[in-house]
């Protein structure tokens, strides 16, 4: 009798394993932030995007993560319909809004993996960035092109050149070993901005460094960046 009960309960246990588990999501949604086909670079882990799903569960995003510093994103989803949006006040760009002021959303229908680039309108674009190392200095030259010129236009608060030991480069304390800044008021010609910063001593020593240019728009929290370049010293 006892043996039978034991066998029965054990087989129930085996069944349970099978019933309770779903397959993990396999459909990949990925893409990048673009303006007229050109990628928008942002700060690592600072510009979020959200995916919402209808029908069940609690209010709130089912996925709430952020763009990489190249402006790319990727997320694994179940097949179904989702809404994707970037919350208000995030990113160095304007995301479409509803008349109520809430961020507009993009409907994403997942049926297998797909690529979806997100078109946004940045306040500025960093054009023709040239970053070079010479001697113990890194010099960057670029053009700051004002993209939004209507009532939403904003001024440049400052531009920065950041250097870091690793590929993560931004204004955040951990992500640069040296930086130089110029305020918007001190930019005489936005079509020809040049910044130079000395390379500090790197411990442990390495003969290369990563650099990129950042542009801070007045009144907007997130900066827009040029692509990261690796420089050999």
Q: What residue ranges bind another protein (CB under 8 A)?
A: 48-50, 58-61, 64, 66, 87-90, 101, 171-174, 176, 179, 219, 221
For the CB of residue 90, give the shortest distance to another protein in the complex, in Å: 7
* Length of the chain as a residue count: 233
| Element spanning 49, H or E | strand 48-53
- Smaller CB separation from another protein, 11 or 89: 89
In this structure, the strands spanning 27-35 and 38-39 are: antiparallel
Q: How far is the CB of 14 from another protein (least distance, A)?
A: 35
Strand partners, 197: 138
Q: Which is nearer to another protein, 1 or 98 (CB)?
A: 98
Picking from 186, 183, 93, the residue whose alpha carbon sits closest to that of residue 146 is 93
Question: Least distance (Å) from another protein to the CB of residue 219?
Answer: 7
The residue among 183 and 192 lying less far from another protein, judged by its C-beta, is: 183
Give min distance, CB of 139 to another protein, in A. Answer: 21
Task: Write down the H helix ranges in the chain.
Answer: 2-20
Whichever of 44 and 124 has its CB closer to another protein, that residue is: 44
Q: Phi, psi (5° rounding) for residue 164?
A: -145, 160
Instruction: Please state, in angstroms and rounded to a whole number, the distance separating the CA atoms of residues 205 and 165.
Output: 10
């Amino acid at each position: 009798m006892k043996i039978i009960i034991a066998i029965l309960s054990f087989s129930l246990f085996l069944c349970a394993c099978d019933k309770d588990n779903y397959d993990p999501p396999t459909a990949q949604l990925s893409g990048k932030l673009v303006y007229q086909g050109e990628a928008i670079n942002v700060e690592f882990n600072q510009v979020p995007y959200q995916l919402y799903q209808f029908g069940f569960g609690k209010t709130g995003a089912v996925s709430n993560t952020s763009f990489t510093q190249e402006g790319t994103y990727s997320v694994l989803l179940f097949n179904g319909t989702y809404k994707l949006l970037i919350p208000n006040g995030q990113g160095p760009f304007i995301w479409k809004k509803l008349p109520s002021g809430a961020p507009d959303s993009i409907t994403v229908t997942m049926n297998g993996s797909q690529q979806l680039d997100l078109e946004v309108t940045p306040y500025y674009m960093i054009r023709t960035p040239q970053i070079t190392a010479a001697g113990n200095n890194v010099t960057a030259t670029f053009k700051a092109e004002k993209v939004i010129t209507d009532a939403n236009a904003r001024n440049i608060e400052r531009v920065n050149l950041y250097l870091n030991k690793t590929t993560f480069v931004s204004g955040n304390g951990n992500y640069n070993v040296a930086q130089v800044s110029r305020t918007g008021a001190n930019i005489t010609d936005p079509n020809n901005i040049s910044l130079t910063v000395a390379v500090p001593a790197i411990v442990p020593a390495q003969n290369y460094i990563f650099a990129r240019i950042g542009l801070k728009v007045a009144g907007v929290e997130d900066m827009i960046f040029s692509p990261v370049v690796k420089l050999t010293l």
